[in-house]
Amino acid sequence: TNPGFVVRITQAGLDYAHQQGVAVLEQELAQLKLPDISGDFRIRHVGKVHYEISSLDLRSFHLPYSRISLVPSVGLQVSISNAFAEVDGNWRVKLHFIRDHGSFDLKVENVYIKINLQLGSDASGKPTADTSNCSTRISKVRVHFSGKFGWLYNLFHRAIEPAFRRTLEAEVCQIVVKSVRSELQPYLRTLPVTARIDARAGIDYSLVAPPTATAQSLDVDLKGEFFSLAHRSTVPFAPLPLAFPPDHDRMVYFGASSYFFNTAGLAYHGAGALVFEITDSMIPKGVEFHLNTTTFSAFIPQLEKMYPDMLMKLRLSAPSAPFLDIGPGGVSLRPVVDIQAYAILPNSSLAPLFLLSLVSNVSAVMDVKSSHIVGSLKVGRYGGGAARGSARPVRMLQSIMNIYASNILLPRLNARLDEGFPLPLPDRIQLSNILLRFHQVSEGQHPARLEPA
């Protein structure tokens, strides 16, 4: 399934995210609980020595050099080098009649950790992450023992260093796996796969495929589809392929195709939100005509005989969902508006008079504020009417429509558009230095691209 919305995270974005992730991993490793170590080793001409290492306390674990890399068709790889740790603890040794105990300081240096992250999506369309591979290599362990028998400690030292190395290498990867599952995975699940917009509509941001890693970016394909909260139905048109321009300078790119915006029109049209009414009380006082049968009798003489001096009501509706077009100059659409005219009878019931269709040119200005896509509409003058009835009072209705659009309809719609529609962002992410561009791609692909750095 082609996406209606794409999020592209570049190497610069991953570098920033990895700073936060490595800081969390460093905290997790600093809380590592090491098990007690015990064993035996033989000294030539002396015999068997039994040792015990206990009360191990990891004082610090530092990850000074690390990098996250894109692995095409696989996912992400985190490489950590020159890490080091410090451990305190107690020791006890037994050799025939010799028994001794004390404390020790241990420094682990030149720790190398390599982690492969497998990215995917679950049944609900939320992103997932798990470790597909983890390896740890420690090249240097230095131990300093306190005690009375110096010659014994040197032998003890050679036996204990490999034991420490094996224990730490195993424990580090266990912490990595645990940290990915307890920290990274829950954080990724804060990405909203559905976002409620208002009482009528929501947005489906579920993943349509697992994230794709390339040599330059991590692309996440989202459904990007508005839907009616009252009754969700299948969209009668399919999204076209959404092609990104080959830019990778910023941290993150958002691509929204015309499919994304056109499903908004479909959802609100299906929810009955694109129906408006005009009454005489809405006509500004300075206008020289009123919305009544007397005014329209100049165009339709029979109104004076059938409904003398009665107020009228106009009901505006879209016969179909409006479709917009995205081009290099921005967003535009030409909605058809059906105008049903009624006479308001003395008992407040409505008598249908005529039906007229008008077409208007509408342009949209878009921006991003507070992680929301916001916008405003500008409506051109209504024109090109075709009456389905016995008369064509086009000019009068055009004037009424222009007055209504300028004074009532546009302020109402623009107030709603100023609230905006949320971008798909996990918790605690804020965007800055945002740039919005419009692109028209070949074969009918019309993506709008938002580029926060």
Q: CATH number of the domain at 336, please.
A: 3.15.20.10
Any idea what DSSP says for residue 280? G
Give residue 271's pLDDT: 85
pLDDT of residue 365: 84
The whole-number pLDDT of residue 386 equals: 45
> Is it the case that residue 276 has pLDDT exceeding 50?
yes
Q: Indicate whether 24 belongs to any domain.
A: yes
Same domain for 216 and 183: no
Could you tell me the pLDDT band of residue 312, with boundaries at 50, 70 and 90? very high
- Distance in angstroms (rounded) separating the CA atoms of residues 316 and 355: 10
Please, which residues have CB within 8 angstroms of residue 39's CB and are 6 or more apart in sequence? 50, 51, 159, 163
Residues with Cβ within 8 Å of residue 245, at least 6 apart in sequence: 439, 449
Place of tokens 């034991």: 163
The per-residue DSSP string of 411-425 comes to HHHHHHHHH-EE---
Judged against a pLDDT cut of 70, whether residue 391 lies above it is answered with no
Q: Order across the sheet with 225-228: list the strands.
A: 194-196, 201-204, 225-228
Direct distance between the N- and C-terminal alpha carbons of the chain, in angstroms, rounded to an integer: 28
- Is pLDDT above 70 for 152? no
pLDDT band at 445 (very low <50, low <70, confident <90, very high): very low
- What's the average model confidence in pLDDT over 299-313? 87
Q: Is residue 217 part of a domain?
A: yes
Please state, in angstroms and as integers, the Cα–Cα distance from residue 200 to each residue in 228, 267, 294, following that order.
6, 8, 38
Percentage of the chain beyond pLDDT 70 is 90
Say if residue 388's pLDDT is above 50.
no
Q: What is the CB neighbour count within 10 angstroms for residue 185? A: 15
Kindly indicate the confidence band of residue 382, based on its pLDDT and cuts at 50, 70 and 90: low
- Say yes or no: 303 and 359 in one domain: yes
Question: What residues are paired with 388 via a beta bridge?
Answer: 355
| Count of domains observed in the chain | 2
What is the mean predicted confidence (pLDDT) over 343-371? 87
* 279 domain-assigned: yes
**What is the arithmetic mean of pLDDT over 131-141?**
89
Out of 165-174, 323-332, 341-350, 366-375, give the one with best mean pLDDT. Answer: 341-350
Mean confidence (pLDDT) of the chain: 83
Contact 179, 21 (CB under 8 A): no
Asked whether residue 453 is assigned to any structural domain, the reply reads no
Task: Decide if 84 contacts 111 (C-beta within 8 A).
Answer: yes
pLDDT per position as a tens digit, 207-261: 999 999 998 899 999 999 999 888 888 898 888 888 777 778 889 999 998 899 9
pLDDT band for position 393 (50/70/90)?
A: low
pLDDT given at position 260: 92
What's the half-sphere exposure (Cβ side, CA atoms, 13 Å) at 382? 25
Q: Rounded mean pLDDT of 113-119?
A: 91
Range of the domain at 170: 11-190
One domain, residues 53 and 108: yes
Q: Are residues 165 and 282 located together in one domain of the fold? A: no
Q: Which amino acid, residue 326?
A: I
165, containing H or E segment:
helix 150-179
